[in-house]
Each structure stands twice: as structure tokens, then as C-alpha cells.
Amino acid sequence: MTCKELRLTRALIIFALAITLFSLFSCPPVAAQENPYFVTYDHNLEEPGNLEVEYFSTFGTQRAGNDFHAFWMEFEYGVNAWWTTEVYLDGQSTFHDSTIFTGVKWENRFRPLKHEHFINPVIYVEFEHKSDGDKTLKEGEGHDVEEDFLAPNSELRKGINNEVELKLILSSNFKGWNFSQNTLAAKNLTNEPWEFGYALAASRPLALKASATRCRFCRQNFIVGAEMYGGLGDRYSFGLKDTSHYLAAVGGWNLPNGWTLRLSPGFGLNDNGHKFLLRWGVSREISGFDQMIRRMFGGKS
Amino acid sequence: MKPSSVRFFLGAVGLTVLAAAANTCSNTYGAGSAEAQWFRSDVYAELAKVPEKDRNRVNPLENDPQGVAAGQILFQDHCSECHGDDAKGARKGPSLRASEVQRATPGTLFWVLTNGVVRRKMPSWSKLPEPQRWQLVRYLKSLGTN
């Protein structure tokens, strides 16, 4: 890594930390009610004016190579009741190799329908600027397989990709359950074909009624479920051939003080995928971020 | 990490901040301001748009002895930020003690909670399980117009 790159990476990390600390200490938290998914999206958007700061990790095993720990931070902001925007910062450590910053993503989710329906669509648009070293496995896409991660970080970080990713999110809440299905189409903006992927998930709180007393360990604070995701090939070879697929149990704990903890052990369903992925995450929902921005620009709070 | 990454990132953050600023400037109303009257009539009008079938739904937790207490905690956690701690209205949300709200049927309030008033920044609360939304309705109906 050159001095200039090191300075830029450091500046980004300091910037992210500054936003996080400023938000955490200047805005009050609100109780979150988050689904425990790591890959799949449901139709619930961020509440308007709220900021959710999230940190996630993925530990993955690697056959014929070094295991890795990939991590990312998300800053999710509810612009409107129908629009949520999000910025990601990604990185990874490969054991016995190095730690590298792997890219940034900017994601937007739009809810096109005014009312709640049995199936609720959300349109997802994302721009990614990432290196080949990205190991977050935030989605299954195209012909991505375990072997892609075998090269050392010094090689992987040289391949830079600008990618647009579109998703159709379909989600339904029924008798306390949430069922979500995402269909993904991604296009590397260099001369690469469209790639496809999918994600399916279901989850349910352990209790549907809220307790009459405030509590951390009440059953309604715990949400459990499962998700499955993988690639569907590309424009020229659509299908399941040479694709990887994963199945994961997911669990979330929504604390009354605004924190949410998530855990998800996952397993590769075929030889193309990593055998084992362990994901964990922590997030905090912060209310009144819009008012904080307003005050910064001299407006009344 | 190349300089173009930083440019992209800063651009994304800049756009997000601009959107946030536009968002806060476009739709916040101080209590008692001239806009508050528009806020009031427009938002409460949503209650009249609830379909007949939903309006007539009965609260299955009407006789639940813990419904109001549980609803109060849910209100503090999810609603008071916009509607105020005492539900009398705040910068972002109207009073829920208004006669329009208190006269509305439980089914009407449940429908508005479930669907939100998305164009007016009231989010859908369908992510709360149905029984919790009915508990919230119990609490709202217990407030009265004081």
C-alpha cells in the first residue's frame, strides 16, 4: 500500500468513526424492531429522519487457502417513509496475509406502493466501487465461487470493479412471520455480462404480544429465522451450474435501548461455496438525525 | 483504495446529506405555526379514507388486562419521537388526543398503523406483529381528548 493510499484509507475510517461517535452521542436512541437477516432485505424501510449505524462481520473458512474475516459498516438513513438511503464501508482480514479496505457502496431502496399489501415490493438500486478482495459475501451473485478468494490480498486488491446492482424485494408479513424474497441483477460497468442471484428468508419473533413491563429478555425481543441465498449464473449461462448457495440460521435480539445484536451461522450447500460462514452484527437506531443535520446548517431544531 | 473511491464516497455522502437537509426543510411543522392547520386537516383526513371493512374490525385484545400497559411501552418506543411523549403532537406528528383520532374506531387506527401515511412521512408499522399493533390501539383509545 502506498503512502497516498494509506492516507486516504485512514481518512475514510476516521470519517466513519466521526459520524458514528457524533451520532451516538448527540441523538437519542430509539427501540429498534429489526429483522435478523444479513443478506435478505424485507420491505420495511428506515423510519424518516432516523439513522441506523450498523457493524457486521463475517468469518469464513477457505479450502486450500487462509480463512478470513470480512467486515462492513452501514449508515442507513430514512429520507422518507418511501425512501431509505445507505452508505457502506467494507474491509477484510485474511489470516496469515493482510487487512485491506475493499470498497464503498451506496444503496437506495424505494417503496413504490402507498399501502400495505399481501406482497409488498421494494425497488433496490446500488452502486458499488469495490476491489476483487471484497469477501463480505453480502449476496450470492453470478458464478461467484470459493476459489475466487484464493489469491493473496496483494493480487485481489488490484482488481477494481464499478458495479450497479438492482434488486426486486418482495416481502410479506403474515401471522407474525416475515417472508422475503429478493431477486438480484448486477452489472459490472466494464464489459461484463449481467449476473443474477436470489435470496429467500423467513423469520418470526418468539412472542407476538408485547410485555406490559419493559424488559430486555422478553420473548418478543428475540427474532429467529433462516435465510438461503446464492447465484443464478449470468446472461450467457443462466441457472444453477457453477454457482454457490448457502443456508443460514439467523437470530436477532432487539434491546429496548436502541441496540440490536444479530448472529448467523451459515453453511455452503455445495462444493462451490465456503463450507462455513459465521456472521455477527451490532446496530443502533438513532432518532432525530435529520434534526441534527438541520441544526448543523443553522436551522431550528 | 484509489482516489476515485474517495471521490465516489464523498459524493455519496454529500448527496445523502443534501437529501437529508431537503427532507428536514420540506416537511417539519412547529406546533402553532401557520402550517400546523394544514398539517392538522390533511393528516386527520386520512382517517376518513380507511376502507369500510377495515374500519369495522374489532380489537381482539379489547379485554386484555395488560393491553394498555403494553401499548404504552410500545408507544414510548416507537411513536413518541414524532407524536410527543404525551401524544399531544410534536414537530413531526399530529396530536393523537385530537377528537378526530379518539372518535375513530379501533379498526381505523389499526389500519393507519399498518399502512402508515407514507406520503406524509408516517411510516407503515407492519413490522410490528398484529397483536402489538392492537395493543397500541388500546393505548391510544385510552388516552382520551385531555
Per-residue pLDDT of chain A (301 residues; tens, 9 = 90+): 556 656 666 666 666 666 666 655 555 556 667 889 999 999 999 999 899 999 999 999 999 999 999 999 999 999 989 999 999 999 999 999 999 999 999 999 999 998 999 999 999 999 999 999 999 999 999 999 999 999 999 999 999 999 999 999 999 999 999 999 999 999 999 888 999 999 999 999 999 999 999 988 999 999 999 999 999 999 999 999 999 999 999 999 998 888 999 999 999 999 999 999 999 999 998 888 888 877 777 776 5
Question: Which of B24, B117, B129 is nearest residue A176 as measured by Cβ atoms?
Answer: B129
Q: For A23-45, how does the pLDDT look when each residue is reduced to its tens digit (9 = 90+)?
A: 555 555 566 678 899 999 999 99
> What cell was used for A148?
475466487
Question: Which of B17, B119, B128 is nearest residue A114 as measured by Cβ atoms?
Answer: B119
Closest-CA residue of B relative to A111 is B118
Closest-CA residue of A relative to B61 is A209
Query: Which positions ≥6 away from A189 have C-beta within 8 Å?
Result: A161, A162, A163, A164
How do beta strands A195-205 and A177-188 pair? antiparallel
Q: Indicate yes or no: CB of A294 within 8 angstroms of CB of B130.
A: no
Q: Give how far A162 is from chain B: nearest CA, Å.
A: 10
For residue A212, which of B36, B82, B73 has the smallest C-alpha distance? B73
Within 10 angstroms of residue A175's Cβ, the number of other Cβ atoms is: 8
Q: Give how far B35 is from chain A: nearest CA, Å.
A: 15
Domains, in order of start, for chain A: 3-296 (2.40.160.40)
Residue whose grid cell is 441483477: A185
Residue A244 and residue A260: Cα distance in Å, rounded? 29
Residue A245 and residue B139: Cα distance in Å, rounded? 46
Using a CB-CB cut-off of 8 Å, the residues of chain A touching B69 are 212-213
How do beta strands A68-80 and A83-94 pair? antiparallel
For residue A48, which of B91, B87, B76, B75 has the smallest C-alpha distance? B91
- Secondary structure string (H, E, C) spanning A119-138: CEEEEEEEEEEEECCCCCCC
Q: Indicate yes or no: CB of B126 within 8 angstroms of CB of A208.
A: no
- Predicted pLDDT at B34: 41
- Predicted pLDDT at B44: 82
Entry pTM:
0.86
- Predicted pLDDT at B38: 43
Closest-CA residue of B relative to A1 is B1
Which fold does the domain B31-143 belong to in CATH? Cytochrome Bc1 Complex; Chain D, domain 2 (1.10.760)
Using a CB-CB cut-off of 8 Å, the residues of chain B touching A11 are 6
DSSP secondary structure code for residue B27 in this structure: S
> What cell was used for A278?
459465521
Q: What are the sequence ranges of the domains in chain B?
A: 31-143
The identity of residue A1, as a single letter, is M
For residue A38, which of A192, A166, A223, A189 has the smallest C-alpha distance? A223
For residue A24, which of A65, A56, A54, A68 has the smallest C-alpha distance? A54
Chunked into runs of 10 residues, chain B (146 residues) has average pLDDT values of 59 64 50 46 81 94 93 93 90 89 94 90 92 96 84
B38 CB near a chain A CB, below 8 Å? Answer: no
Q: Between the CA of residue A165 and those of A80, A87, A152, A256, A294, what are the distances in Å?
A: 22, 14, 26, 34, 31
Residue B142 and residue B43: Cα distance in Å, rounded? 21
Q: For A77-91, how does the pLDDT look when each residue is reduced to its tens digit (9 = 90+)?
A: 999 899 999 999 999
